[in-house]
Copies of this chain bind each other. A is one copy, B any other.
Amino acid sequence: LLTTSTSTLGHPVGIHLAFIPAVSQHPHHNQSYGSTRAFSTTPVNRMRDFFPAKETENIRETPPAWPHHGYTEAEMLAVVPAHRKPTTWGDVFAWKFMRFCRWGMDFCTGMKNDQKVDKSNPTTATHSIKPLTESQWMIRFLFLESIAGVPGMVAGMLRHLHSLRRLKRDNGWIETLLEESYNERMHLLTFMKMCEPGWFMKLMILGAQGVYFNGMVLSYLISPKITHRFVGYLEEEAVHTYTMAIKQIDDGHLPKWSSPDFVVPDIAVKYWHMPEDKRTMRDLIMYIRADEACHRGVNHTLSNLDQKEDPNPFVSDYKGGRAPPRPALKGQGYERTEVL
């Protein structure tokens, strides 16, 4: 295996094999495609549908639970990496802990020093000496997204249980939190359509969820405020990661994704309602980045609110026809007085 294979993404397989094994290892899946294009990223979802949408005798399809709200193109273009300066002790803790997680992630994706950005602006600097490879990016995306679906679900569940046992209203937070976790799961399933992780990466995801889920529960029980700040910082990382990937596509470093052969998975086209002429990997990452910017703004804002008493501004009706806040372009989140 180690000597004969080529990864899905067209790279000679070394350590990455365990993360993303070549689909061409399964020749019986390869029939309809032919073996001449082993270097393209396109074929994977054509060759083998890892989780086909269920169609039964009577059911045609099962539409997404939370339809995507959509962004204007201007909004998507306006998203930029941002950083909210930690001010309280809790902020500092969340930020430092995120630095540690980022270090671990860089290590796991095998990032070289010349692939890294300026250490003093880790979520806003986008210049690095060398680009990452497509497969390094893919590992990063998959790992990030399998983690990212946890906090929203944990927070939503704990607020639900709290409301039940304390017999108190929730004031609209649960909805946004659960929707966030659904959105993250759609990111994950989209990337999953492009490559199937190997057993090692699957094991890592399993282990990470075990640790991360329990950590999140504990953390949210101790301080929802700090936890939302931490998620805000996690989303700063996500926006940064996707911005870097877009930049490297633009700089021509990721040819497999720029190839006209590249096809965005169907699940993504449907979920984001991607127009027919906007279905490149770059377009997809633009959508996903806008989602992450949204989570970033939401979580930084929620962290600024009174966790028990304040309503969720993002689903509230404002007086005098004022529109609800748009978190995607508010990198630092809204201050409490701006939205209540």
Contacts and interface: CB of A to CB of B under 8 A. Distances in A.
Interface of A: 50-51, 53-54, 56-63, 65-66, 146, 149-150, 153-154, 157, 160-161, 163-165, 167-172, 174-175, 178, 181-182, 185, 188-189, 192, 196-197, 202, 205-206, 209, 213, 309-313, 315-319, 322, 339-340
A60 B96 CA distance: 38
B164 A149 contact: yes
B318 A54 contact: no
7 contacts: A50-B167, A51-B169, A56-B310, A59-B317, A149-B164, A160-B181, A164-B205
Q: Which of A58, A174, A182, A213 has the most CB of B within 10 A?
A: A58
B54 A171 contact: yes
A63 B315 contact: yes
A50 B178 CA distance: 26
A111 B139 CA distance: 60
A65 B315 contact: yes
A3 to B, nearest CB: 27
B62 A312 contact: yes
B164 A316 contact: no
A211 to B, nearest CB: 12
Contacts of A175: 65-66
A33 B312 CA distance: 33
Contacts of A53: 169
B188 A167 contact: yes
Q: Which of A153, A160, A189, A209 has the most CB of B within 10 A?
A: A160
B340 A57 contact: yes
A340 B313 CA distance: 40
Contact of A60 (B62, B170, B318): B318
A212 B146 CA distance: 28
A174 B182 contact: yes
Contacts of A189: 163, 167, 169
Contacts of A154: 157
Given A54-B309, A65-B174, 4 more contacts: A53-B169, A59-B319, A61-B317, A146-B164
Q: Which 4 A-B pairs have the closest CB atoms?
A: A65-B175, A62-B172, A56-B340, A54-B311
A171 B316 contact: no
